[in-house]
Chains A and B, each alone.
Chain A
Amino acid sequence: MIEKDIVCEAGLEHNFLEEIYSLPGGAEIKKCIQCGTCTGSCPTSYVMDYGPRKIFSLIRAGFRDEVLNSNTIWFCSSCYTCTVRCPKEIKITDVMYALKRLAIKEGRTKGRKTAVLSQTFVSMVNKYGRNHETELMVRYILKAEFFNALKFVTQGWNLLSNGRLPFKPHRIKHINEIRKILKKVDELGEI
């Protein structure tokens, strides 16, 4: 049960629905018929606070905090099973991406390790033009898993001993092109 002390209708945020509609692909949630195919297909729904079907229901009812603070959006692995199975052809994975971006934008990422990894990934790509997996993991561990660092040792060794752990990053030649592109996008504003 989702418990929210609804003192009156005003306690809900009706603007939230409009906000989601304005996100790319967001308006599609109007079409949701609450069939639950998404939640039934989702490989990670069993650990989610609310499955994708409930998330859509919550959005429509104006439960902004519940949606954006839920672990649901961070447990989406982008497997796209819900997206291809949705009978109303809603791009559910894209809606999850949009919710992730909104949560990050509002700083609702406390304890959300996936958000830390994603942001670290972005800074790697902006720096080198490519992802450097070794540095990504080291930086991620320092930020989010400092006290669990030991648990990564086995995997690191597994990779290292099999010649699969490069130390040197690949930096693209025209990293200035990436910088120019990013600067321009910043000026244009996100979609």
Chain B
Amino acid sequence: MKYTYYPGCSVKATANLYQDSIDAVAPLLGLELEELEDWNCCGATAYMSVKELMSFAISSRNLALAEPLHRDLVTPCSACYTVLKKTNTYLAAYPELRQKVGKALEVAGLSYSGNVKVRHLFNVVIDDVGIEKISSMVQRNLEGLRVACYYGCQIARPETDLDHPDNPKSMEALVIALGATASYFPMKTHCCGASLMGTEEELALRLCKNLLLNAERNNADVIVTVCPLCQMNLDVYQGKVNKLFGTNFHIPVIYFTQLIGAAMGLPFKKLGLHKVAMKIKGEPKRILNG
């Protein structure tokens, strides 16, 4: 199965461990991800806060570049997924927007007719590869690893391809198929604070604290995520959460592709698992590296 791949800015930088695991796992899953040539930033939430038409226009450039390739556009980043998908929906719904964006693309020698399907890598793995196939590829027994399945916001809202917007269960099914245990984690689609971590740190730290507490109280060894920003906030800032709230969390936060890779028996470092800030140690390390 061949797709056009849109990594997004974070995956190429602070979330490079996500890319490491995608590089390692995708070929084994039969996913051919061909990177979109010369893609640009989707605009994220920040651009939309400053200029609306400009943000839709630059986001559309990616869709215009992807359209002639006639394949689904797949991104591993929930923010890119939401923005690109929203651009598609709004271009279809608002003729005035479509017309203006069309004119802006035209001066760059581009055009877009609205035929690109934007998808999240997680949904591609669940819906196109399928849990059954993945479970047949398990090489390493993850028995005993308790996993909190964290979906976050933007893969679930405002539009979603998950099985349910409030209480999705596909990640839990995946975790079980890999031989691990899915912990009860009712805050699975709550907000981690997203980019507010950079500007309103205390507020975002509190949201992360709530999530970490929820995972800890349900005995999770690790949190699994599908979004670079969620991973960054919960993992890289976990030490700060501990300092501010006097907690003692040590819950490594890993990507779903890293968990799949570990279950397939791939080496720890190849999956970028050594780049997680809250170091994976003890029993979880033995299981994931064993």
Residues of A within 8 A of B (CB): 24, 43-44, 47, 74-75, 77-81, 83-84, 91, 93, 97-98, 100-101, 104, 113-119, 121-122, 125, 129-134, 137, 140, 144, 151, 154-155, 158-159, 162-166, 170, 172-174, 177-178, 180-185, 188-191
The answer to whether B240 touches A155 (Cβ under 8 A) is yes
Chain B residues positioned under 8 Å from A132 (CB to CB): 9, 13
Asked if B12 is at the interface of the complex by the 8 Å CB criterion, the answer is yes
| Nearest CB on A from B166, distance (A) | 8
The answer to whether B39 touches A172 (Cβ under 8 A) is yes
Stretch at the interface among B128-136, B150-158, B216-224, B258-266: B150-158
Chain B residues positioned under 8 Å from A166 (CB to CB): 12-14, 16
The answer to whether A133 touches B54 (Cβ under 8 A) is no
Known: A77-B193, A134-B13, A177-B110. A117 touches B199 (CB 8 A): yes
Q: Which of A74, A75, A162 has the most CB of B within 10 A?
A: A162
Q: Name 16 extra pairs, CB < 8 A, besides A101-B51, A184-B107.
A: A43-B191, A74-B199, A74-B200, A79-B153, A91-B158, A101-B50, A116-B199, A134-B13, A155-B237, A155-B240, A158-B236, A163-B275, A180-B108, A181-B105, A181-B108, A191-B97
Which residue of the partner chain B has the closest CB to A174? B38
The answer to whether A125 touches B41 (Cβ under 8 A) is yes
Q: With A and B bound together, what is the CA distance between A83 and B191 in angstroms?
A: 14
The answer to whether A113 touches B199 (Cβ under 8 A) is yes
Known: A84-B165, A155-B240, A164-B16. A190 touches B46 (CB 8 A): no
Known: A81-B191, A178-B58, A181-B104. A164 touches B39 (CB 8 A): no
Asked if B207 is at the interface of the complex by the 8 Å CB criterion, the answer is yes
Total chain B interface residues with beta-carbon distance under 8 A: 66
Contact of A80 among B15, B154, B239 (CB under 8 A): B154
Asked if B126 is at the interface of the complex by the 8 Å CB criterion, the answer is no
| Nearest CB on B from A110, distance (A) | 14
List 21 interface pairs A-B (beta carbons < 8 Å), by A numbering.
Answer: A44-B196, A74-B200, A77-B191, A78-B45, A79-B154, A79-B157, A84-B157, A101-B50, A104-B49, A121-B46, A125-B47, A133-B13, A155-B237, A159-B277, A178-B108, A180-B107, A180-B108, A182-B57, A184-B104, A185-B53, A191-B97
Query: Digit string of B40-66 for contact with A (CB within 8 Å is 1, else 0)?
Result: 110111111111111001100100000
The answer to whether A93 touches B158 (Cβ under 8 A) is yes
Q: With A and B bound together, what is the CA distance between A80 and B50 in angstroms?
A: 18
Q: With A and B bound together, what is the CA distance between A91 and B93 in angstroms?
A: 14
Provide the main secondary structure of the chain A interface.
helix
The answer to whether B54 touches A182 (Cβ under 8 A) is yes
Chain B residues positioned under 8 Å from A134 (CB to CB): 13
Chain B residues positioned under 8 Å from A151 (CB to CB): 201
Chain B residues positioned under 8 Å from A131 (CB to CB): 9-10, 41, 44
Q: Which of A44, A181, A190 has the most CB of B within 10 A?
A: A181
Asked if B70 is at the interface of the complex by the 8 Å CB criterion, the answer is no
| Nearest CB on A from B3, distance (A) | 20
Chain B residues positioned under 8 Å from A24 (CB to CB): 52, 94, 97
Residues in B185-208 with C-beta less than 8 Å from chain A: 190-191, 193-196, 198-201, 203-204, 207
The answer to whether B100 touches A188 (Cβ under 8 A) is yes
The answer to whether A114 touches B199 (Cβ under 8 A) is yes
Which residue of the partner chain B has the closest CB to A100? B49
The answer to whether B100 touches A125 (Cβ under 8 A) is no
Chain B residues positioned under 8 Å from A93 (CB to CB): 158
Which residue of the partner chain A has the closest CB to B106? A184
| Nearest CB on A from B238, distance (A) | 9
Which residue of the partner chain B has the closest CB to A99? B49
| Nearest CB on A from B209, distance (A) | 12
Which residue of the partner chain B has the closest CB to A163? B275
The answer to whether A114 touches B47 (Cβ under 8 A) is no
Chain A residues positioned under 8 Å from B190 (CB to CB): 43, 79
Known: A131-B41, A158-B236, A172-B38. A181 touches B58 (CB 8 A): yes
Chain B residues positioned under 8 Å from A185 (CB to CB): 51, 53-54, 57, 100, 104
